[in-house]
Amino acid sequence: MAVLTKPSLEQVSLPTPPHRPRSYFSGLPVVDLSVTDSDALLVNACEEFGFFKVTNHGVPKELIARLEEEAIKFFSLSQMEKERYGPANPFGYGSRTIGGNGDVGWLEYLLLEINSESISHSSLDFLKEPRARSFCSALNEYVESMRKLASEVLELMAKGLRIEPRNIFSKVVMDEESDSVLRLNHYPPCPLLQGLNGSMTGLGEHTDPQLISVLRSNNTSGLEISLRDGTWVSVLPDAESFFINVGDSLQVLTNGRFRSVKHRVAANGYESRVSMVYFGGPPSGERLAPLPLLLGEGEQSMYREFTWCEYKRCAYKSRLSDNRLQQFEM
């Protein structure tokens, strides 16, 4: 793995690559949050793709840039130094291995636990050090704005589904006890791919366990989503917008009406990809089952009730690409 030695932004934005993916998916729904009736488009996107892009989200550009810069500074430390804060179990610094069951990818990352609205310092000892002060403040401000954005989007989903109360989904992730996570990923350029037409996995295919994921990446391609018919398509990167994923928990609450989207990241031969993902999850003891409000007349519940804690126990025994909801199906 290429190691960033100097903590500078330039190091992760290499010259324009001579090759980009052949084509990007053109059918991706774009939800403009400044438009009042965006809820219908948003519901449609959750049903059809489980994935969409949001614009006019109100998250300050400067905050995004600050956190990205801090993340890059961390990833620019020497490999030996970074390894002191790992291996991620599940929180902390991780490199090449994902989860504990044999998944690997061309990336390094920080997995940070969010405790009562801010980043838990015990999830990464580095954050306890004086030199991490600006990193901590960027992380906490970022998490606060991600909670707000996730909550706004979840309320729009309830509005679009015409269910009350409007905070029926958002209250789950806004709860002080909610089990949410922040993930900072760095996919270094993969020299093995240079000049070749091959591909390599950055992060293997999977669905996200939580209700909602809010993803921001720099302008490097790599993200791919699986469409309903199983075709994989590349997502055009857009550093100005956020991408929203429906997760397994929201698929359950909506009795499968919303799709938990399968996605993956391909490694790039020339450019570094840096992404920051907020995963909005329920409190540990939260019971998850299809909302009776959303069951049509005579419609059967697709899932039995289970707690988030129960789901997580199974999830940490699974491989990335496993269908983690299968065991809860009726």
Which of residues 181 and 266 has its CB atom nearest to ligand GA4 in the complex? 181
Which of residues 103 and 152 has its CB atom nearest to ligand GA4 in the complex? 103
Q: Which amino acid is at 285?
A: G
Among 77, 112, 143, 181, binds ligand GA4 (CB under 6 A): 181
| Residue 47 binds to ligand GA4 (criterion: CB under 6 A) | no
Q: How many CA atoms lie within 13 A of 282 on its CB side?
A: 24
| Residue 92 binds to ligand GA4 (criterion: CB under 6 A) | no
What distance in Å separates the CA atoms of residue 245 and residue 322, rounded to the nearest whole number? 17
| Residue 280 binds to ligand GA4 (criterion: CB under 6 A) | no
Q: Residues 147, 183, 273, 324: which is the catalytic one?
A: 273
What distance in Å separates the CA atoms of residue 149 and residue 30, rounded to the nearest whole number? 15
Query: How do 51-55 and 30-32 pair as beta strands?
Result: parallel
| Residue 318 binds to ligand GA4 (criterion: CB under 6 A) | yes
Site for ligand GA4 in 103-142 (CB under 6 A): 103, 111
Active site residue 131: no
| Residue 4 binds to ligand GA4 (criterion: CB under 6 A) | no
| Residue 99 binds to ligand GA4 (criterion: CB under 6 A) | yes
- Least Cα distance to 98 among 181, 182, 185, 190 occurs for 185
Which of residues 210 and 268 has its CB atom nearest to ligand GA4 in the complex? 210
Closest distance between ligand GA4 and the C-beta of residue 249, in Å?
11
Site for ligand GA4 in 71-90 (CB under 6 A): 90
- Least Cα distance to 29 among 246, 243, 280, 216 occurs for 243
Contact yes or no for 282/65 (Cβ under 8 A): no
Q: Which range touches ligand GA4 (CB under 6 A), out of 41-49, 68-76, 94-102, 293-301?
A: 94-102
What distance in Å separates the CA atoms of residue 101 and residue 196, rounded to the nearest whole number? 30
CA of 192: how far to CAs of 106, 109, 188, 201, 274, in Å? 11, 20, 12, 12, 19
Active-site residues, by number, are 273
Residues in contact with ligand GA4 by CB under 6 A are 90, 98-99, 101, 103, 111, 181, 183, 206, 208-209, 279, 315-316, 318-320
